[in-house]
């Protein structure tokens, strides 16, 4: 690196004008986030063409780069931090966790080992204990902090694979699958797509899964679950990705435990129901499982990316994910990479710790139950306007339909074009439906009512278009 570039970057660090520019742009964005179109306008999307250019040959200007990002990038973002984004299962962001992320970005900690970040190591231990307490999980449980549920499901099933093969006297890490005894995977046909992805990545093969039908709410049919044994991995859901329904853990988990089967619970957004006094009944029995995957960036409203794997069997998790190298110096303290697939990881645990610290048990209770209340309001007001609600709203998910599939699909498109709120579509019981996920602390009762009006207006546009004669 030339002395000129180095001097320029030292100057930027010392004078802070680059960070001032970023701060001002961030504040400007935040001031408009609640009022702007939820999805970018056509003009904003067209503005993205300003990023189309060849790779620069020489160093650029930091201020100009930030200004360009804010001018053309900010308008083309989806306002997920506002109160009317109901797509995917995207949480908002707690102010304290956003501020913590800024601070940790300056720290730029790499957290595989205690020796690379003692702070992250300590907060991982503390947060692990808090999560066990919040979810009423056994003291033997350990946590790994990963990017999201896709990775945490992979970790949980990898630990299950490790433990179950060991019981069959097979070292999967050393010997692989060639000649290996057969493991069974049992899962609901309505398991999230990330479960199928993990099953494929781990070499089980999705064709080999014993898929079990779900009931009308999306819960795995307990009466159809096959006989389990010590070679089985049973995957259950705390929150169906469409309906929000919870499997019957209190029946299935003890049954699996008695025969030595491994139970993994995919609780991406739903596991947090355990933190609400009025919703904790939905998660009754989860303490009997062996591993749990969930996100902070959904229900808890931490910034992206914040996933967690919790495993009852530390040795199985470590053996499944361990790495070795002459330069890797483990300590007597917590070395986080033992519980995750990654070595290089940012210190995402700090944001999760901050959210738990800031909210406390009562704040988490209020946040989680508040999302449920807004979902109930959404369903109730839509029903009053003649929309059909297709699921029991047990948590934060609402499934909505119009008179027929064509009208539903067209209404979704009209809602999205309106910019007032954003919802997505899905398939449910062979029908096209509107899927609503209420996940943000920002969402108010007025946000819901405003969104319902957008639904009504969108449907009216669709009906009006259908009444017009073809030209």
What average pLDDT does range 210-229 have in this prediction?
98
Using the 8-state DSSP alphabet, how is residue 266 labeled? E
> What pLDDT score was predicted for residue 55?
96
Using the 8-state DSSP alphabet, how is residue 85 labeled? B
> What pLDDT score was predicted for residue 442?
97
> What pLDDT score was predicted for residue 263?
98
Distances (CA, A) of 119 to 348, 356, 370: 12, 17, 33
Backbone angle region of 301, left / alpha / beta, with phi > 0 → left and psi within -120 to 50 → alpha = left
Query: Does 453 have pLDDT greater than 90?
Result: yes
Query: Does 471 have pLDDT greater than 70?
Result: no
Query: Does 82 have pLDDT greater than 80?
Result: yes
What are the tokens at 284?
Answer: 């009754």
Task: Residue 108: count other Cβ atoms within 10 Å of its Cβ.
Answer: 8
Q: What is the band of 325 on the pLDDT scale with cuts at 50, 70, 90?
A: confident
Alpha-carbon span 9 to 12, nearest angstrom: 5
> What pLDDT score was predicted for residue 398?
98
> What pLDDT score was predicted for residue 324?
73
Helix 314-321 and helix 149-167: axis angle, to 10°?
A: 110
Alpha-carbon span 371 to 439, nearest angstrom: 6
Q: What is the band of 466 on the pLDDT scale with cuts at 50, 70, 90?
A: confident
DSSP states along 172-230: HHHH-STTPPPPEEEEETT--HHHHHHHHHTT--GGGSEEE-B-TTS-B-GGGPPPP-T
Query: Does 193 have pLDDT greater than 80?
Result: yes
- Label the pairing between strands 388-389 and 397-401: antiparallel
214-223 confidence digits (pLDDT tens): 999 999 999 9
Task: Report the percent of the chain where pLDDT is more than 90.
Answer: 95
Alpha-carbon span 73 to 76, nearest angstrom: 5
Q: What is the band of 446 on the pLDDT scale with cuts at 50, 70, 90?
A: very high
Tokens 């056994």, residue located:
138
> What pLDDT score was predicted for residue 131?
98
Alpha-carbon span 276 to 366, nearest angstrom: 7
381-407 confidence digits (pLDDT tens): 999 999 999 999 999 999 999 999 999
Alpha-carbon span 20 to 4, nearest angstrom: 22
What average pLDDT does range 359-379 have in this prediction?
98
Task: Residue 436: count other Cβ atoms within 10 Å of its Cβ.
Answer: 27
Query: Does 36 have pLDDT greater than 80?
Result: yes
> What pLDDT score was predicted for residue 470?
63
> What pLDDT score was predicted for residue 323?
77
- Label the pairing between strands 307-311 and 291-295: antiparallel
How far is it between the farthest Cα atoms of the chain?
Answer: 77
101-134 confidence digits (pLDDT tens): 999 999 999 999 999 999 999 999 999 999 999 9
Would you call 357 exposed, middle or buried from its count of C-beta atoms within 10 A (0-12, 13-18, 19+)? middle
Task: Residue 345: count other Cβ atoms within 10 Å of its Cβ.
Answer: 22
């Amino acid at each position: 690196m030339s002395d000129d570039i180095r001097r320029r970057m030292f100057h930027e660090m010392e004078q802070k004008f680059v960070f001032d520019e970023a701060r001002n742009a961030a504040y400007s964005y935040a001031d408009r986030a609640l009022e702007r179109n939820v999805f970018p306008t056509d003009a904003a999307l067209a503005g993205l063409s300003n990023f189309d250019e060849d790779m620069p040959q020489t160093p650029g200007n930091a201020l100009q780069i930030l200004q360009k990002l804010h001018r053309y990038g900010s308008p083309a973002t989806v306002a997920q931090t506002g109160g009317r984004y109901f797509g995917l299962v995207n949480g908002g962001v707690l102010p304290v966790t956003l501020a913590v992320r800024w601070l940790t970005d300056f720290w730029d900690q790499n957290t595989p080992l205690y020796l690379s970040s003692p702070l992250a190591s300590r907060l991982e231990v503390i947060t692990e204990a808090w999560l066990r307490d919040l979810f009423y999980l056994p003291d033997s449980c350990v946590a790994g902090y990963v990017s999201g549920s896709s990775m945490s499901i992979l970790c949980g099933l990898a630990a299950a694979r490790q433990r179950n093969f060991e019981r069959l006297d097979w070292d999967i890490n050393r010997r692989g699958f060639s000649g290996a005894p057969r493991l069974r995977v049992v899962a609901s046909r309505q398991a999230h797509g990330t479960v199928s992805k993990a099953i494929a990545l781990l070499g089980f093969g999705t064709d080999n899964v014993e898929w079990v039908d779900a009931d009308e709410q999306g819960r795995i049919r307990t009466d159809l679950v096959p006989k389990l044994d010590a070679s089985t991995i049973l995957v259950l859901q705390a929150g169906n990705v469409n309906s929000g329904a919870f499997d019957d853990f209190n029946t299935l988990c003890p049954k699996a435990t008695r025969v030595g089967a491994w139970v993994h619970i995919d609780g991406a957004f739903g596991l947090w129901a355990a933190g609400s006094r009025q919703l904790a009944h939905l998660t009754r029995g989860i303490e009997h499982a062996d591993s749990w995957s969930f996100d902070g960036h959904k229900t808890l409203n931490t910034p992206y990316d914040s996933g967690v794997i919790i495993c009852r069997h530390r040795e199985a998790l470590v053996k499944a994910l361990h790495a070795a190298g002459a330069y890797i110096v483990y300590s007597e303290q917590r070395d986080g990479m033992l519980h995750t697939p990654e070595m290089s990881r940012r210190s995402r645990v700090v944001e999760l710790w901050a959210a738990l610290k800031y909210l406390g048990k009562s704040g988490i209770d209020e946040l989680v139950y508040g999302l449920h209340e807004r979902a109930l309001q959404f369903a109730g007001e839509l029903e009053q306007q003649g929309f059909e609600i297709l699921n029991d709203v047990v948590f934060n998910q609402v499934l909505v339909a119009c008179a027929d599939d064509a009208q539903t699909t067209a209404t979704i498109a009209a809602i999205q074009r309106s910019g007032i709120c954003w919802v997505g579509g899905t398939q449910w019981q062979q029908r096209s439906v509107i899927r609503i996920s209420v996940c943000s602390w920002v969402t108010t009762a007025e946000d819901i009512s405003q969104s319902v009006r957008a639904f009504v207006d969108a449907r009216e546009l669709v009906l009006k278009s259908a009444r017009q004669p073809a030209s």
